[in-house]
Amino acid sequence: MKYDYIIVGFGIAGMSITYQLKRAGKSVLVIDGNAIKASHVAAGMYNPVVLKRFSLAWRADELLTYAKVFYNDLSNYLSFNTCENLPIYRRFHNVEEQNKWFSAIDNPRLSQYLSPYLKKEATNAIEAPFQYGEVMQTGRLLVKETFDHFREKLIDENSFINEEIDFTSLNVNDQEVTVNGHKASRVVFCEGHQLLKNPYFNYLPLVTNRGAYLIFRSEDVLLDVALKSHFFLIPLGNHIYKFGATYQNHLQIKNGADPELEKTTLINELKKLIKVPYQIIDLVAGVRPTVKDRRPLVGKHPRYDRLFVFNGLGTRGVTLAPDTSRRFYDNLENGVDLLPEINIVRFSDIYDQT
């Protein structure tokens, strides 16, 4: 069988473009190996505000509006509620942060997202002498459950194969592309940090950042919002919480990650934050694909018209993926130009040099 598209990789980028194509009636084969995807261990929050600076994220209004539509449609497609509404409480560390919060509210574009009323308490387990600011219109993608449901649907439709890509098997000509013996009109690479090993797109300036989360259980925390202090604390249900993430850039992990250091760092920070008993369950980590200009990598290979890339969504992938995949679909199927900020054409000079 010859497919319209082969999608390589099933993180947030691969999942979102697969959905855009499938609901348009395109035949799609997803090929995904066993590498851990950063998307699969991420917090899954969609949030329009940069909480460190109390500023609006890039294209926040448009991205958030479409993300909510996208995940609602995806829920209907999968017959599974993919998201939950989850406010974010930003814990203030001093009066200066409170003042910056209220200054940000004076910005009309931010006022719709930042509550003017301080929250005195999120949970008895955490001391907050300077109180909290509430970020509104936020939520969480149920990451693992959503990927599991979508993968099972694809398997049932014979549209998913669990195998690694053998680039020596890739053959591209004017009519089709062959990958691992499977044929398609086009191939889209959504491999996350594995793109660095892709001989067709490894010229792109992708960098890796490793993030780790602590999973713990506590019957005394009793938190029903996402809480941001130095790290995020997110309720997962049944008294289970996710805490993190640490940050190690590509230079720091060049000689290998140090899970014990990550675990120790998170435990020390958790001890500072909560004052009730807890039980450590697990440490989960993934390597995020990011770009120096903090914009996605989307578009067609400079030489091969049937090879495409969709990558580099970084820490805001849950918010970025829906709108970016929509624009990518319109480019693939309708010839609509990509936004210059996301088009890999912006790095054509690097390709020319290689």
- Break the chain into its structural domains and give their ranges: 2-42+144-205+293-353, 95-137+206-291
- pLDDT for 351: 81
Phi-psi region at 320: left, alpha or beta (left = phi > 0; alpha = psi -120 to 50) = alpha
- pLDDT for 292: 87
Q: Do domains 2-42+144-205+293-353 and 95-137+206-291 have the same CATH topology?
A: no
Strand (E) or helix (H) holding 321? helix 317-334
- pLDDT for 257: 73
- pLDDT for 248: 76
Q: Among residues 32, 40, 41, 42, which one has the least CA distance to residue 9? A: 32
- Quote the CA–CA distance of 104 and 110 in Å, as a whole number: 7
Task: Give the three-state DSSP class for 39.
Answer: helix
Q: What are phi and psi of 265, to 5 degrees?
A: -60, -45
Q: Among residues 338, 345, 309, which one has the least CA distance to residue 13? A: 309
Q: CATH fold of 95-137+206-291, please?
A: D-Amino Acid Oxidase; Chain A, domain 2 (3.30.9)
What's the distance, CA 347 to chain centroid?
22
Provide the token pair at 289.
Answer: 């694909």
Q: What are phi and psi of 112, to 5 degrees?
A: -70, -15
Identify residue 40 by its one-letter amino acid code. H
What would be the CATH architecture of the domain defined by 2-42+144-205+293-353? 3-Layer(bba) Sandwich (3.50)
- pLDDT for 305: 96
From first to last of its 354 residues, the chain has per-residue pLDDT tens of: 999 999 999 999 999 999 999 999 999 999 999 876 666 778 899 999 999 899 999 999 999 999 999 999 999 999 999 999 999 999 999 999 999 999 999 999 999 999 999 999 889 999 999 999 999 999 999 999 999 999 999 999 999 999 999 999 999 999 999 999 999 999 999 999 999 999 999 999 998 888 899 999 999 999 999 999 999 999 999 999 999 998 876 555 556 678 888 999 999 999 999 999 999 999 999 888 889 899 999 999 999 999 999 999 988 999 999 999 999 999 999 999 999 999 999 999 998 776
- pLDDT for 252: 59
